[in-house]
Structure 1
Amino acid sequence: MKVGDKVWIKDEDRRVYVDDDGKRHNAPIYRKKFVERFIIGETRVSWLLSTSQEIDEWHLKHADKVKKNDAHRIMFTSEDQIDKHCWAVSNHYRIADLVRSCDSFDKLKQIEEILK
């Protein structure tokens, strides 16, 4: 990542209950938590993010800071990365249940090797 790149961040406070087709949901739509931002600067330890690509004194002063160490958890560089993350979040409980109910030594050893 570098200054000028477009990224998407996961905003835990964002709650959208209506999908693109106008259908209302009872719970927030996880995929809608992701918002577009631009890297407009950096410090030694943080990326400076803004809703605008403008790099001026005001935007730099009011930019959101994301620690570079935390960036891999909340910053995404493509829609494909977001889709993969959303799939993992939506399916990890189901997959964990399948592993929990599995009693095949060979399958469990393969899963263990994959996860190492």
Structure 2
Amino acid sequence: MFRGKENALNPNWLHLPVGYHGRASSVVISGTDIRRPNGQTCPDETKPPVFSNCKLLDIELEMAFFIGSQGNKQGEPIPMDQADDYIFGLVIMNDWSARDIQKWEYVPLGPFNA
């Protein structure tokens, strides 16, 4: 965390905003084409970062659960023994990550970007 005045900021601090760009609207139905994401990467650490399309797209299989009409308050957990009362349905999802973009962005914010 404390890096000294000559190296106080990580290199990407001067090129990236402090925030993560994510959208719920990127959840789409089966058969919908997706666009390969664009972003900053730093393939050569001796040169400034570049803006380009993702070259390391990682697709992961995941399960997602939908909570039905009996919701819970934000931040309030659902007890495991009552999960059946809350779950409306589940789906299999493909989650993708732009690993080369993530590698460059990951530095200042850690898991917040992941």
Q: Output the TM-score relative to the length of structure 2.
A: 0.20
Q: Output the TM-score relative to the length of structure 1.
A: 0.20
* Greater relative contact order, per chain length (Cα 8 Å cut-off, separation 6+): 2
Comparing both structures, which one devotes a greater share of its residues to helix?
A: 1
Comparing both structures, which one devotes a greater share of its residues to strand?
A: 2
